Chain A
Amino acid sequence: MKTKRKGLWHELYANRILFLMLLPVLVYFLINNYAPMIGIYYAFVQFEFNTSMFNMNFVGLKNFEFLWKSGKLIELTVNTIGYNLAFIVLGNVLSISVAVLLSELKGKWFKKITQSVLFLPYFVSFVILSVIVFNLFNYEQGVLNTVLERLGAEPLDVYNKPALWIFFIIFFYLWKNFGYSMVIYLAAITGISEEYYEAARIDGANTFQRAWHITVPMLKSTFVILLLFSLGTIMKGQFDLFYQMVGNNGLLYSTTDILDTYVYRSLKVTFDMGMATAAGVYQSLFGFALIMVVNGIIRKVNKDYALF
């Protein structure tokens, strides 16, 4: 044990400049990410206004009760994970394929314009999006029903069809967000050496073969990193998206309710620091477990791609 300790000090001393450079980051994480974790204790106490956290009554898991009291916890967890998986899988497939397509394009102006057009929705706020969606789909004056009526078809009450909203939510998420990850992939593609393509061309590979056998494999590490990052937040749904699009409409909750919106609604009226923290702790623990499992699997398959 003594030698080990000595080793650590030695290590610190030998690389002191490097460790010094690491210090600001450590301090940043300590202050912003680790110190506030003390607040987790709120999840286990009965919150009171006029006393400090550690003087409050310890109540064990009572604050977590509301999560399963309505019998919705499983449905919520499934919805949250399901949507996020769809976002991650479809989002990556879409952005990789569009990035590959764009990189193969020759016309510079066309390429730039397409790229910008795809990126622009990223700046539209969900509040505005929800208004657009309402104007498209509302029963009395919506664009969809006006068109249907002109065509002599029956109007459709979209806001009363929960199954449709699985599709809408995913669609609008992709519409808004895929341009962003596409730019990252596009950057990664530009980094692939031209020599590979030249060699392939000499060997007689066509465009499709070049993309499939060179570009896609070269994007693998970027893909894995982006994947792991997004997995960490899988329990945190896109609150704005769901909250703005669905709002108060209970008819749609069976397919569109996620943990974030559920917690928000529950605590909008009953505000209790303890319960709010409990919900956050549940989300974080679940996310933590998930990222450990996925990272473990990736490590097994290929150690170089794992995060840690």
Chain B
Amino acid sequence: MPGKLKKSVGLLLSVVLLLSLITACSSKNNKPAESASSPQASNSPSAETSESPSSEPAGIDTSKKVELQFYMLGNAPKDLAKVEAEINKMALEDLNATVKFNFTTWTDWDQKYKLLLSTGQKVDLIFTAEWTQYQQYAKKKAFLPLDDLLPKAAPVLNQFVPQDMWEAVKIDGKIYTVPATYKEYVTGGFVWREDLRQKYDLPKPVDMATFEAYLEGIKKNEPNLQPVAIGADVAAALSDAHLDIARDIVGPMPYGVFAPYSNPSQMTNYWGSAEHLEDLKLYRSWAEKGYISKNELNVKDTNQDKIVNGTAAALLGDNPTRYNQTLNNMKSLHPDWELGYHPYGLTKGYATPVHPIHNGFAIPAHSDNAERALAFYEKMVTDKRYNHLTQYGFEGVNYEVDNGYYKLIGNADTNGFLRENMQGWAWRNPEFMLFEPSYDGVKAIFDELDKIQKPDIYTGFAEDYTEYQAERAALEQVEKQYLFPLLAGQVADVEKGLATFMDKAKQAGLEKVQQGYTKQWLAYLQESGIQ
């Protein structure tokens, strides 16, 4: 009996060890270099070659049936399968192709995006934006140049997108993405609780001074409410926003270089300068006075959520569309609360409409079905049936058109396809777009900004960091460790903290990075004829 027991225990032990071995192995498989095996796209030359090249095969060969792999960021809508089936019915007839809509979810989307492009996986269409590093990827030739393909595979689309937009998305003289044509503003603006502002008779935030006065008033009257939510990404939510409203920086420039919008070729070093010190002292004072949380760097919920559930009373910067979303979400929970908005543009005297690079779709260099992919994308943008289905779902089931406005049927929980639920920002077509009534407020803001619009001269710039990528990676590190705590106001001695940061940054190769960047930036300005 004891012998038998011992044996079975030994067996159990070895099973446990084997299991841990296997899990160790499988977790290793997540390593990028090893996940090269790609799901096979079923582009086998299936027998059913449609006899009559149906409808308008725009000068491309559609005799072979293909399945296109379409990749979008974010989460898939609940009713995606139904929409996909309907789209496939039409696409099979029009282009002898089917499409698989894939979504990355928002968790680690940036890692997934990079892997999709660098492991040679079969991807035919993928979302691009400046915040997914379109410029760098295009520069490194991760996408297919579309110049020759467009007139052939998507002549309608080629005409539909204005020539200046095609020009604007060009990297090294070639088109790598199909830009969205819907004109909007994604520039920043102050967001605050208007009901509280009125209740305590606080100034309306229009610049940093009035914003601070508002924060002070909130702290005094509502001591348990956090005056402003910044979140863990202090560089973007605090520093970039502040440089935008107070110092008119041309765009969120990296590596502490600074160029004003009015004179973009006049480059200075912001990091380590007197202005930098002044700003850091301001942030420190915010932390000391309790305007921001002492643990801002570890906060997990989004800033917008904090407004909605009433734990914070302002945002330093947000764009008009998202402000509107926050407003609606807040109203649904707290109908008596009000949210105010002041776009930076009105204070600065100019606002830049969204750059065409901001939303686009590209064809990765690895794609086998480039022509068909482009032809299909043309349908998504210019064919109302495709467009409405992928933006709003089924009419009568998911939405209805009421007085020219979009109206959701049911609510967010019961409806399987919300407005723009596929994150279809890139294939928006201004001629087909449907808006909710609440969007009128955003349109009003846009109209105001239209009057003071000036072109975005920053986003078209494509940095190539190959030369200094080791220094860049090291610098990124130093920034997180020594600059972020300063931004969050967590370092008591700001001057000393800044000196340490500059010291470490220089060790990591700050000067080489800045020089490389500055050189490219100036060359870009000259090339594109800006001053």
Chain A residues close to B by CB (< 8 Å): 32-33, 36, 39-40, 42, 46-50, 62-63, 65-66, 69-72, 130-131, 134, 138-140, 157, 159-160, 183-184, 187-188, 190-191, 193-195, 222, 225, 229, 233, 247-251, 253-254, 257, 262, 265-273, 275-277, 280
Contacts and interface: CB of A to CB of B under 8 A. Distances in A.
A32 B25 contact: yes
Given A247-B232, A270-B473, A271-B110, 11 more contacts: A36-B34, A50-B365, A66-B470, A134-B295, A138-B293, A159-B298, A248-B298, A249-B295, A251-B485, A272-B469, A275-B473
A69 B293 contact: no
Nearest to A63: B470
Most buried by A among B12, B16, B477, B504: B477
B33 A130 contact: no
A46 B118 CA distance: 13
Nearest to B491: A251
B10 interface: yes
B13 interface: yes
Interface in B8-41: 9-10, 12-13, 16-17, 20-21, 24-25, 28-29, 31-34, 36
A175 B9 CA distance: 25
B473 A66 contact: yes
A46 B142 CA distance: 14
B473 A49 contact: no
B509 A266 contact: no
A39 B509 contact: no
B297 interface: yes
B226 interface: yes
B142 A70 contact: no
Contacts of B31: 36, 280
A184 B465 CA distance: 50
Interface string B281-322: 000000000000111011010000000000000000000000
24 contacts: A36-B36, A39-B36, A66-B469, A66-B471, A66-B473, A69-B473, A140-B294, A187-B9, A187-B13, A191-B5, A194-B2, A248-B234, A251-B490, A253-B480, A266-B473, A267-B473, A269-B472, A269-B473, A269-B476, A270-B465, A271-B118, A273-B118, A275-B469, A276-B33
B451 interface: no
Interface in B88-110: 110
A194 B6 CA distance: 11
B476 A265 contact: yes
A243 B365 CA distance: 33
Nearest to A139: B294
Given A49-B117, A266-B474, A280 B33 contact: yes
A250 B16 contact: no
Contacts of B137: 49
8 closest cross-chain pairs (CB), A and B: A39-B33, A69-B474, A191-B9, A65-B470, A139-B294, A70-B474, A66-B473, A36-B34
Nearest to A188: B13
B256 to A, nearest CB: 15
B466 interface: yes
A140 B117 contact: no
Given A36-B33, A273-B118, A250 B484 contact: yes
A276 B13 contact: no
Contacts of B473: 66, 69, 266-267, 269-270, 275
Contact of A70 (B5, B9, B232, B477): B477
Contacts of A140: 226, 293-295
Contacts of A39: 33-34, 36
**Dominant SS at the B interface?**
helix
A49 B295 contact: no
Contacts of B504: 70-71
Contact of B295 (A71, A139, A222): A139
Q: Size range of the interface on B?
A: 35 or more
A247 B509 CA distance: 24
Nearest to B505: A70
A154 to B, nearest CB: 13
A195 B295 contact: no
Nearest to A262: B477
A249 B476 contact: no
A47 to B, nearest CB: 7
A187 B469 contact: no
B190 to A, nearest CB: 23
Contacts of B25: 32-33
A233 B21 CA distance: 11
A47 B477 contact: no
Interface in B28-66: 28-29, 31-34, 36
Given A70-B478, A229-B17, A249 B365 contact: no
Contacts of B9: 187-188, 190-191
A130 B24 CA distance: 23
Contacts of B481: 250, 253-254, 257
Contacts of B294: 138-140, 157, 159-160
A184 B478 contact: no
B141 interface: yes
A280 B140 CA distance: 23
Contacts of B297: 159, 247-251
B507 interface: yes
Contacts of A262: 477
B5 A190 contact: yes
